[in-house]
Every structure is written in C-alpha cells, then in structure tokens.
Amino acid sequence: MTRYVLGRLLGAIPTIFLIVTISFFLIRIAPGGPFDLERPLEAKVMENLNKIYHLDEPLWQQYLLYLKSVAQLDFGPSFYFRDFTINELFAQSLPISIQLGLTALCLALVVGGTLGVVAALRQNQPTDYTVMAAATLGVTIPNFVVAPILTLVLGVWLGWLPVGGWNGGAFVNVILPVVTLALPQIAVVARLTRGSMIEALRSNHVRTARAYGLSTYMVVVVHALRGAILPVVSYLGPAAAALLTGSVVVETIFGIPGIGRYFVQGALNRDYTLVMGTVVVVACFVILFNLIVDLLYALLDPRVRYD
C-alpha cells in the first residue's frame, strides 16, 4: 500500500514537469507582457523592470531559472500584485478556498447522497420524480444566476445573511457561497447515487441481507450504499479538485479573497508567475485527488487491491 502510494506520487513528478513546461511556453507565446499598460512606461523604466524580473534573458534561460525555483517550492514574485510573492498570495487565499470547497463538498455529499438514496428507495414515485426534476434543474441553472438570486432573496429582501465579504470566515458569511458552490454538486451526486443505488438494491447481496431479516437501515446504509457510492467517489475526485481550488464566479460575486480569481486576473494581466503558480497548484490537487479516489476505491471495494 505505502509502496503503491509512493509509486504514484513519484509518477506524478514527470506529469507536473510537463504541465509546467507546457503552460510556461503557452503563456509566453501569448501576445503582450506584464508591464504593458494603457500608457506605456518609459523605456528606461521598462528596461529596469525587465532586468529585475529576468525578462531580458533568453526564454530558455528564464525557463531553467523558473524550474529551479519551482523545485525549491518558490513560485517567485508576482508581476501584478507588486508587493507580494506568489507564495504569500497563496498562503492567504488557498486556505479560504479550501475551507469553502471542503464545506461545499461535504454538504453536497450528505444532501445529494441522502436525496439520491431516498429517490432510489421510492423509484418511479412522486418523490423520485420531484428529486430528479430538482436535480436536473440544479445541473442546468448556471451558478452566476443562482448566486444573485440567493443574494437578493436572502441578503437584500429578507436581510438574514450578509450579501458578500469574507469577514474572517464568520459562519453567516460562509453560508451563501457554500450553498451556491454545493447546489450543482448536490444535483449531480443525487443523480449518480440514485442510479447506482437502484442497481445495488436489485443485486444479490442486498437480497441476501434482506432474507437474513436485517433492518432496513443495515440493508440500505451498510450493504447497498457501500457499493452504490463508488461512482460518486470517482465523480467527486475531479470535482473536489475543482471545488477546493476555488470558483471564479462565486469568489467574484461574493467578494471572497480566494484563489479562484487569480486564474483570470493572472492570465489577463500576463502575470506569468501567478498563472504558473495556479496551474501548478491545480495540477497537484487533481493528481492528489485522483490518488485519493483510487485509495478510497480499494477501501470500499475489496475486489480492488494495490499490493
């Protein structure tokens, strides 16, 4: 088991290396530079800036320099947020995004899972149709529609919750962004759980458990759900990586200082180091969560072994 995990982590290094290489050259080919302002800077200032950030050296030398610093986990200074290094920016924003994402993920798993199981137990009954219609609605309404509506209703008209801001992660500030983040995930989880649960409830081991006279709770939660949760787990891997690295829309609408906005700001302002940093962070999360999914699979399904 440990060997398998170590092997996977080692195997991730070339992948990350390739990702760094691709994105480094991709953003460098893009026209424009980090210091191209509406009013051009003076030639001398520009020259000095380029010198400080090593932008005057040949591209391959910059690439080697960047690789060296990334290997030491130093993502360099930000070009756009002049007073910060990328590491400082991430140290501030990443915990916030992770906290939001993790809460939304748990909410999605609990609510979506429950709804899916309930729908599967009452297959082709009104409850089932209601849950599935709501789930389809949840998938199809974009979150930048959900967010303003929630803000307007709960924040402005009823005045129960603050409409935005982070406020050090106070509970009332977290509710709206978490719900907005979780709604589409709840919908998907409910659909997936319902589908696999219906299949699991018809399988032989569940029939045997019923024949033994086990309580409904034991049959459904312990025996059926364990197998039925597998597709959900494999869906949640990439979804978790996306949630934990922040959502541009939610962070913009609710004014949350998370990492999601840095994608857009970085790429649009040609903040090379910021873009590269976010790319690396996201890639690490994707790889990590794929590994976690595979390990969870082995835990849930005894037929899968990694020895």
- Which residues are near other proteins by CB under 8 A? 15, 18-19, 22-23, 26-27, 29-32, 136-137, 139-142, 144-145, 147-149, 152, 156, 245, 248-249, 263-264, 267-268, 275, 278-279, 282-283, 286-287
Query: DSSP letter at 272?
Result: H
Q: How far is the CB of 207 from other proteins (least distance, A)?
A: 20
Query: DSSP letter at 156?
Result: I
Contacts of 237 (CB under 8 A, 6+ apart): 289, 290, 292, 293
Q: How far is the CB of 143 from other proteins (least distance, A)?
A: 9
Contacts of 13 (CB under 8 A, 6+ apart): none
- Which runs of consecutive H residues, i.e. helices, occur in 108-203? 113-121, 126-140, 143-150, 171-201
Cβ nearer to other proteins, comparing 229 with 283: 283
Cβ nearer to other proteins, comparing 209 with 244: 244
Q: How far is the CB of 264 from other proteins (least distance, A)?
A: 6
Rounded to an integer, what distance in angstroms lies between the CA atom of residue 212 and that of residue 214?
6
Cβ nearer to other proteins, comparing 190 with 283: 283
Q: How far is the CB of 136 from other proteins (least distance, A)?
A: 6
Q: How far is the CB of 247 from other proteins (least distance, A)?
A: 10
Contacts of 136 (CB under 8 A, 6+ apart): 187, 191
Q: Which residue has the tokens 């509406």?
A: 38
Radius of gyration of the chain (CA): 24
Contact between residue 239 and residue 247 where contact means Cβ atoms under 8 Å apart? no
Quick check: helix, strand or coil at residue 35? coil
**DSSP result, 42-95:** PHHHHHHHHHHTTTTS-HHHHHHHHHHHHHTT---B-SSSTT-BHHHHHHHHHH
Cβ nearer to other proteins, comparing 229 with 259: 259
Cβ nearer to other proteins, comparing 114 with 290: 290
Q: How far is the CB of 124 from other proteins (least distance, A)?
A: 12
Q: How far is the CB of 219 from other proteins (least distance, A)?
A: 24
Cβ nearer to other proteins, comparing 89 with 283: 283
Cβ nearer to other proteins, comparing 178 with 287: 287
